[in-house]
Amino acid sequence: MLFSALATLLVPVLAADVVVPVGRLDKDRTTQDTPNKDTQDFHQPSYPEHPFFDYQESSNITALLGKTAVLNCRVKNIGNKTVSWIRHRDVHLLAVGGFTYTSDDRFTARHAAASQDWLLMIHYLQERDAGLYECQISTTPPQSHLIHLSVVEPETVIAGGPDIYINTGSRLTLTCSVLHSPEPPAFIFWYHDNKLVSYERTRGSGMEVSTERGSVTTSRLLVQDARPRHSGRYTCDPANSRRRSVTVHVIAGDQPAAIDSLEYEPPLVGTCTFTATR
């Protein structure tokens, strides 16, 4: 951990010792430069401007738990300077130039020759990876830019659970939403008592499924005319998020209409009548 603590101090030294390539300072290049493997894909433009960050292209990011996060640091006019990645939390040096410095092999540094982008990839994201990462240019004094990584886990919610009671003949609508998902799930499946509910309107089942994708993706399962056979366990199973279940109880039609009729819609067809008795 001494190494980590000294990381910031070491960067300029490491940069000078390890990364600065030899030669190739010719002002007029007539032939294409082929980067030397030993000197790690590094160019030395001859213009003298000071390096600076492109903040637009080095922004905060949000990534999914268990997936890969790609943090980018874009630096213009790098000259003969070096770009390093440091984890802010414990001042742990992660990458110098295109080298990965940490022993944690979930981290990979990437830098293509002549590119202005220094990438830090973090694989198999964990909650504890969330936080600030510092992109540092080895100027004197060093220039720093902080990038925040959020690690999110999508959440599945079914409105009205865990138990839903409705009258026979009522309309049943189950609404399942996927929250905190950086991209909409590729699909959302519904199961009724472990049997897949088809997206195609199947004759006889009386169930319809529709899905709207967006920053919150919502899937609805609709039964226009709920029957006792529609009772049971309904499971919403999104591609990128945990499955969730509710239990639906369709109350037999001959029971007194003791339930608030505003919440439970009356039957759509007039074959059964409710008689309110006091």
Ligand X SMILES: *[C@@H]1O[C@H](CO)[C@@H](O)[C@H](O)[C@H]1NC(C)=O
Minimum gap (Å) between residue 110 Cβ and ligand X:
22
Closest residue (Cβ) to ligand X? Answer: 148
Of the residues 23, 48, 214, 256, which one makes contact with ligand X according to CB under 6 A? 48
Cα–Cα distance measured from residue 92 to residue 2, given in angstroms and rounded to the nearest whole number: 10
* CB nearer to ligand X: pick between 130 and 157: 130
Minimum gap (Å) between residue 134 Cβ and ligand X:
12
How many chain residues touch ligand X (CB under 6 A)?
8
CB 33 within 8 A of CB 24: yes
Cα–Cα distance measured from residue 210 to residue 220, given in angstroms and rounded to the nearest whole number: 5
Q: Which of residues 74-93 bind ligand X (CB under 6 A)?
A: 79-80
Give the closest residue to 187 by CA, choosing from 241, 233, 245.
241
Buried b (16+ CB within 10 A) or exposed e, 160-170: ebeebebbbbb
**Omega of the bond leading into 182 within 30 degrees of 0 (cis):** no
Minimum gap (Å) between residue 122 Cβ and ligand X:
16
* Three-state SS sequence of 195-224: EEECCCCCCCCCEEEEEECCCCEEEEEEEC
16 binds ligand X (CB under 6 A): yes
Cα–Cα distance measured from residue 151 to residue 253, given in angstroms and rounded to the nearest whole number: 48
Give the closest residue to 120 by CA, choosing from 112, 128, 111.
111
89 to 128: interface string for ligand X, x by CB under 6 A? ----------------------------------------
Q: Which of residues 123-162 bind ligand X (CB under 6 A)?
A: 148
20 binds ligand X (CB under 6 A): yes
60 binds ligand X (CB under 6 A): yes
Cα–Cα distance measured from residue 161 to residue 156, given in angstroms and rounded to the nearest whole number: 12
23 binds ligand X (CB under 6 A): no
* CB nearer to ligand X: pick between 87 and 244: 87
* CB nearer to ligand X: pick between 5 and 13: 13
13 binds ligand X (CB under 6 A): no
User: Contact positions toward ligand X, by CB under 6 A?
Assistant: 16, 20, 48, 59-60, 79-80, 148
